[in-house]
Amino acid sequence: MPKTPATAVRTYTVSLGCPKNRVDTERLLGALGPHMVPADDAAGADLVLINTCGFIQPAVEESVATILDVIGEAAETFDRTGRRPLICVAGCLVSRYGEDLRSELPEVDLWLNTEEIEQWPAMAARALALRLTGDTPRSLSTGPSYAYLKVSEGCSHNCRFCTIPSIRGPHRSWPVDFLLNEARLLAGQVPEIIVVGQDSTAYGSDLGPGNDLPTLLRGLAAIPDLHWLRIMYLYPAGLTESLLGLLRDTGAPFLPYFDIPLQHAHPDVLASMGRPFARNPEKVVERVRRFFPEAALRTTFIVGYPGETEAHFRTLMDFVRETRFHHLGVFPYWAEEGTPAAAMDGQVPDEVKLDRRDRLMALQAEISAEILEGYVGATLPVVIERESDEWPGLYVGRAWFQAPEVDGVTYVGAPPETALRPGDILDVEIEKADTYDLSGLV
């Protein structure tokens, strides 16, 4: 086991996969306290923390490649200096392939699986010979404009294509008091909080009275320093009229941005997938727009699911054409080991999956360009994220209907004598629209 300093631990962190993983990383580093000092690379670190993703095969391959790269850098560092960092690998890959990984990668010093997530700080502190100092804020890595609030672990749905329940276990909610305390600390640092969970609408279903989604949302909306509240991963079956009515009545800081992972539009494919809201996705779209006519809708679809025919896919294309989502993600189906869908008949050839993905994304590009063109000439509130590298006076920001990491951006021009601060929300006059991005001036 490599020796680490007792007072300052130079830490190089790689967090792969979804925002929920990022929150796990931030909570762990925050719990370890002021000992953690950022390092620019693995070679200059005392601790390398890799939080992995193991959801689909490309993510597995990226995680393994990252671990191997770090192991190689650690060996080179040892050859040069006689020391190497402690290597810690955490997250979904560990939970999915733990025993195989341990035998194949003995160079890794500490493995943290998701079943032990509440014990991660204690396990890491023991490996680093550190004393935990009690409750400490998360170590934010998202910059000054937003932070994620992870409200639950795992998932209790049984979608036939998904590995999450086997990796992360059943749905488990964090208590309201814990989340509101964390949110208050976050709101003192950033203007936007983004609620994430495998199914955010299921929050609190496993807890007792006073720990339900309405209580959490009312508490978040009452935080004085919070300007924007965005909720991601809204399961379609959970978008009930009562929840939508609550959100409408809440008003600001809630943003009418609805991230609803529909996965498909044809009822036969949805039923085969095991989706709870399997028969008519048009109903959930109509319901949202009845409560929020101005809503920005984002969704994700899987193409090439076993048994998907060209007729099924045309139904999906027609649904996208008629619904006009602001944002859309399309993924070719991956036959993941251990899932029921992987054993189904009617597996679709890879070239067909990729062709369908490209056709659907080409349609969405047209829709996105038309929607964004409608904002030209309008004045929109935009949160500033950072100064652009392209030229002085240009900044990268996001309008209210643009979530970080997954949607487009808004480029903001300012006079040379005006320095915009990341985290500020400013009125921007939109002058130009591209396929996925906007441009404007303050």
Binding residues for [4Fe-4S] cluster: 18, 53, 92, 155, 159, 162
Q: What does the block give as tokens for 185?
A: 């600390």
For residues 19 and 42, give the distance between their C-alpha atoms in angstroms, rounded to a whole number.
22
Cβ atoms 319, 281 nearer than 8 A: yes
Q: Residue 169: which residues within 8 A CB-CB, separation 6 or more?
A: 114, 115, 153, 154
Alpha helices, DSSP H, located in 164-309 = 164-168, 176-187, 213-221, 241-250, 267-273, 281-291
For residues 191 and 206, give the distance between their C-alpha atoms in angstroms, rounded to a whole number.
30
Phi-psi region of 393 (alpha: psi -120 to 50; beta: other; left: phi over 0): left
Q: Residue 413: which residues within 8 A CB-CB, separation 6 or more?
A: 393, 394, 395, 439, 440, 441, 442
- Per DSSP, the residues of 303-368 read ES-TT--HHHHHHHHHHHHHH--SEEEEEE----TTSGGGG-S-PPPHHHHHHHHHHHHHHHHHHH
Count of other CB atoms within 10 angstroms of residue 144: 17
Binding-site positions: 18, 53, 92, 155, 159, 162
Bridge partners (DSSP) listed for residue 13:
49
DSSP 401: T
For residues 127 and 46, give the distance between their C-alpha atoms in angstroms, rounded to a whole number.
12
Coil, strand or helix at 399 = strand
Cβ atoms 84, 125 nearer than 8 A: no
For residues 302 and 334, give the distance between their C-alpha atoms in angstroms, rounded to a whole number.
9
Which strands, in side-by-side order, build the sheet including 192-196? 146-150, 192-196, 228-231, 254-259, 296-303, 327-332
* SS3 readout for 118-159: HHHHHHHHHHHCCCCCCCCCCCCCCCCCEEEEECEECCCCCC
